[in-house]
Amino acid sequence: NAGVTQTPKFRILKIGQSMTLQCAQDMNHNYMYWYRQDPGMGLKLIYYSVGAGITDKGEVPNGYNVSRSTTEDFPLRLELAAPSQTSVYFCASSLLRTGASYGYTFGSGTRLTVV
């Protein structure tokens, strides 16, 4: 059981470039989330999804886009990368809404640096 798989683990982008962070889960969870974690800070919600075809913005969605065409995959797209997007990105999934009873299962994270 792989859980939540994120790729890549590390990436360096130049200002203005674009990229997609991949996230896949094999637990048949309906709920999936993207968070970013800046140094010394907690996790901030970027986007979330309650099922295939349904996504919505979190606290810090500007500069990002998501799609959810299948239950398993929830990619995060960065358009026109900026230094402010330098962060560690975590994808998570949960069986129930907001992680009730079981909490989230997190991916191992993507460390992104924009230079």
Partner 1 sequence: EDKVVQSPLSLVVHEGDTVTLNCSYEVTNFRSLLWYKQEKKAPTFLFMLTSSGIEKKSGRLSSILDKKELSSILNITATQTGDSAIYLCAVEAEGRRALTFGSGTRLQVQP
Give the residue, chosen from 12, 15, 80, 100, that forms a contact with partner 1 under the rule CB under 8 A: 100
Question: How far apart are alpha carbons 17 and 24 in whole angstroms?
Answer: 23
- Cβ proximity to partner 1: between 15 and 109 the closer is 109
- Tell the smallest beta-carbon distance from residue 81 to partner 1 (Å): 23
Stretch of 19-27, 61-69, 70-78, 98-106 contacting partner 1, by CB under 8 A: 98-106
Four-residue CA torsion sign, 102, 57, 18, 41: negative
Question: How far apart are alpha carbons 82 and 86 in whole angstroms?
Answer: 8
For the beta carbon of residue 109, count every other beta carbon within 10 angstroms: 18
98 — phi, psi (to 5°)? 50, 20
- Tell the smallest beta-carbon distance from residue 73 to partner 1 (Å): 18
- Tell the smallest beta-carbon distance from residue 72 to partner 1 (Å): 18
Is the CB of residue 48 less than 8 Å from the CB of residue 35? no
Stretch of 12-20, 62-70, 74-82, 100-108 contacting partner 1, by CB under 8 A: 100-108
Q: Which token pair is 78?
A: 């960065």
Binding site for partner 1 (CB under 8 A): 4, 33, 35, 40-45, 48, 56, 58, 90, 98-104, 106-109
